[in-house]
Chains A and B, each alone.
Chain A
Amino acid sequence: MSRVNRPVSTRQAWWLLAGALAAALPLVQQVPVWLAAAAAAAFAWRAALTWRQWHLPPRWLLVLLVIAGTAGVVMQYRSIVGRTPGIALLVVFLALKLLELRAARDAIVTALLCYFLVLGQFLFTQTIPTALLSCLTVLITTATMLAASDDRPAPLLQLRRAALMLAQAMPFMLLLFILFPRVQGPLWGLPQDRYTATSGISETMSPGSIAQLSQSDAIAFRVQFAGQVPPQSQLYWRGPVMPAFDGRTWSIRQILAAYSELPYAVQGEPIDYDLTLEPNGKFWLFALEMPGSLPPDGALTSDYQPISRQIVRNRLRYTQRAYPASQAGIDESRAMLRESLALPSGGNPRTRALGAEWRNRHGDDGAAILATAQDFFNRQLLIYTLNPPLLGPDMVDEFLFESKRGFCEHFAAAFVYALRAAGVPARVVAGYQGGEVNPVDGYLEVRQYDAHAWTEAWIAGRGWVRIDPTAISAPSRINSNLAAAVPAGEALPFLARTDLAWVRELRYRLDAVTNGWNQWVLGYNPQKQRDFLSSLGFGEPDWRSMTAALAVLCGFVLLGLTAWVLRNRRRTDPAFAAWRRFTGRLAARGTVWRNWEGPLAFAERAAAASPAHATAIRDIAALYARLRYAPAPRREDLERLRRQVADFRP
Chain B
Amino acid sequence: MLATLRHRINEAFMRWAVPVKPPEPSPIVLTQRRVYVLPTPAGLSYGTALIVILLGAMNYNLSLGHALVFLLAGLGVVTILHTFRNLALLEISPGRCDPVFAGGTAQFALVLENRRGDGRTSLRVYIGDGDPIEVDVGPQASTIALLPVPAVRRGWLRVPRITIETTWPLGLVRAWSYVVPDLNCLVYPAPAAKAPPLPWSGDSARGTSRDGRGADDFAGMRDHQPADSPRHVAWKTVARQHEGPLLTKLFSGAAAHQVWLDWDALPESGDAEGRLAILARWMLEAEAAGHSWGLSIPGLRLAPDNGASHLAAGLRALALFPHVTR
Contacts and interface: CB of A to CB of B under 8 A. Distances in A.
Interface of A: 2-4, 83, 104-105, 108-109, 112, 115-116, 118-119, 122-123, 126, 130-131, 134, 138, 142, 145-146, 148-150, 161, 165-166, 168-173, 176-177, 180, 182-188, 190, 194, 313-314, 521-525, 558, 561-562, 565-566, 568-571
Given A119-B56, A142-B75, A165 B169 contact: yes
Given A165-B75, A165-B82, A522-B64, A183 B58 contact: yes
Contacts of B168: 149-150
B42 to A, nearest CB: 4
Interface residues of B, number: 53
A83 B59 CA distance: 12
A169 B80 CA distance: 11
B67 A166 contact: no
A521 B61 CA distance: 12
Given A115-B72, A568-B89, A187 B42 contact: no
Given A115-B53, A569-B117, A173 B63 contact: no
9 contacts: A105-B42, A123-B60, A134-B68, A138-B68, A190-B60, A521-B64, A522-B63, A566-B84, A566-B88
B68 A122 contact: yes
Contacts of B56: 119
B34 interface: no
B68 A150 contact: no
Given A119-B68, A149-B168, A186 B59 contact: yes
A185 B60 contact: yes
A314 B62 CA distance: 9
B153 interface: no
A1 B79 CA distance: 20
A190 B79 CA distance: 35
A228 B57 CA distance: 38
B325 to A, nearest CB: 31
Contacts of A171: 74
Contacts of B118: 569
Contact of A186 (B61, B70, B74, B169): B61
Contacts of A182: 66
A122 B67 CA distance: 11
A569 B41 CA distance: 33
A83 B45 CA distance: 23
A150 B59 CA distance: 36
Interface in B91-137: 115-118, 121-122, 124, 131-132
**Interface secondary structure of A, over-half rule:** helix
A109 B45 contact: yes
Contact of A562 (B45, B59, B81, B124): B81
A188 B72 CA distance: 24
Contacts of A177: 66-67, 70
Interface string B255-291: 0000000000000000000000000000000000000
A150 B57 contact: no
A525 B45 contact: no
Q: Which 10 A-B pairs have the closest CB atoms?
A: A169-B74, A172-B74, A569-B117, A176-B70, A149-B171, A185-B61, A173-B70, A169-B75, A173-B71, A108-B42
A173 B77 CA distance: 11
B57 A119 contact: yes
A571 B69 CA distance: 39
A566 B78 CA distance: 12
A130 B61 contact: no
B116 A185 contact: no
A521 B63 contact: yes
A115 B67 contact: no
B116 A173 contact: no
A115 B49 contact: yes
Nearest to A279: B61
Contact of A146 (B49, B78, B132, B169): B169
Contacts of B41: 4, 105
A123 B77 contact: no
B184 interface: no
Of B46, B70, B88, most A-chain CB atoms within 10 Å: B70
B47 to A, nearest CB: 11
Contacts of B69: 119
Contact of A118 (B61, B68, B82, B117): B68
A342 to B, nearest CB: 41
Contact of A185 (B53, B59, B84): B59
B170 A146 contact: yes
B122 A122 contact: no
B75 A150 contact: no
Contacts of B221: none
B169 A184 contact: no
A524 B170 CA distance: 31
B65 interface: yes
Given A104-B171, A185-B60, A568-B89, A176 B73 contact: yes
B94 to A, nearest CB: 19
Contacts of B73: 169, 172-173, 176
A561 B77 CA distance: 10
Interface string B35-49: 000001110011001
A116 B49 CA distance: 8
Contacts of B88: 566
B71 A166 contact: yes
Contacts of B121: 150
B292 interface: no
Contacts of A149: 122, 167-171
A177 B65 CA distance: 10
